[in-house]
Structure 1
Amino acid sequence: MAASTPGNEEEEDDYLSMTFADTTTPAPPKETSLQRTARLKKEAAARSLPLSKAELEAQAQANLETGLATSIDSSNRGAQMLARMGFKGGGLGKTEGARTRPIELEVKGDRGGIGMDSEKKRKVREAAEEAGAGGGEKRAKVGVEEFRVRRAGEREERRAEGLVWGAMRVLEGLGEDEKEGEGDDVPTTTTGHGAKKRRLRGVNILYRPLVRQRLERERDRKMRYDLNNSLSTRNDNDDDEDESVFDKRVEELEDADPELEEFEALSFAEKLERITKELREKYRYCFWCKFRYPDAEMEGCPGLTEDEHG
């Protein structure tokens, strides 16, 4: 065996000291139980977040495109039904060479009508812009003014309606007081509002809507009472005569009343004019002064209308 020289020893040492790079991918660190729990919580929180409107639209669009791009195969329920009925593929129909694929859809994303091309829409839009270039601001001002006038008219209409109902109550009170003073033959049993239990057709047409409205409320109240209370708990001392009178008046609500329909067709201003005129001529009462004068001249009353009373 040959003796080793100093140079050979160095080369041998260099050879023994050589290292080779590790080309294998290091294994990822093992996930601890705490890390796994935190990861699962984070994923669950991300899934629970609601999608935004843009994300939902993008998802729906992607699903639509996927569905349109997917061809019908043997897993399709419709194809399976056709196969059970003997269909072996090819075009449907008597003639050969018929369509073998479903009609492809063309999604329309705008609000224009079907068949209206973009050129027509552009021309219409340009014409509208040219026509409205000069008078747009004026039309906007007119629109605001019309809105204010309409709102003012609605407020005046509601106020006139309230005045009509108030005048009806005044006329009813004066009329009932006069009948009680005259001692007429109408039964004197009252409904709790001062109005006698006589037939609805016999009520003055000028405040008949008020009596009818009150009767409808009494009917609804009685129906609720009968539903909430058993007939077995009814008091035997109830006034059967009053009950029969009430039932007859309720039946009148279902009958046609042409005179009332004609009166209801009038405007609130016309109704108010007729009622105030009746108050002045028959009872010497001024609805605007809130005073009943001792004589027919009604000295001291400014006039017939609200404007004359300031």
Structure 2
Amino acid sequence: MSDDEDYMSDKFVLETEKQTTTSLFFKKSQQREVELLKRKAAAEERMREKNKSAKVMEQEKREEGLSSAISSDNKGFEMLIKMGYKPGQGIGKTESGRAEPIPVDVKANRLGLGKSDKRKPPKIINPTAKLDTLKTEDFRNRISIKKAEQLTVTDLLKSQKVCEQLDVKENLQEPKEIWFWPEIENENGSTDEDEEKEELQQELLSTNEKLEILTKYLRDNYFYCIWCCAAYGSNEDLKDNCPGNTRSDH
């Protein structure tokens, strides 16, 4: 090749390809290594195929058969062709029949042929069922709280009556606290405690708190329990024989 020839010409490229040294190709040892890797990969693939379970192989073959169209070698297809059938059209004189073969319905259960699965259908969950349950629970809780409040009011009134009786026996002219005794109505309908109503309102004691304070007063001073309906001989007798100082203890 002369110096005047263009180095970008086809002749220059062809000459360069001929002069390529063999050092760019794999050595024999590298070629053997590549061949061994290929054989190993092929052997592993064969082992995987061999170790497949019969169920997996059956499923793969079924999917392969269902995904491929019927060939002209099929006897049924050959008979249809002889009778004038053309692929893609419907069967019958008017070509209004089925154009595709009947799909295969794979039987997955172990029931006999024609036996239907009579298992119960899945239960339909009502989305509002949980809300209804919450409403019911809320109603029950409100009823329970209301009943407990009524019992507390009853116990407080009973404690006030007992306290008044025991205080009177001890010649007390008035209760230690205004609300320790039950309210007494006068003939005009007003109570003896009208003038002290503001003081009672400022106390801000709940019914539970009043009952707890009055219960302690009766137990400490008279060893009396309204739920046992009994007065004990001493504080030790009260502690030993009375279940406790609340309704729930009894």
Structure 1 length normalisation: TM-score? 0.35
Structure 2 length normalisation: TM-score? 0.43
Whose RCO is larger (CA < 8 A, sep 6+)? 1
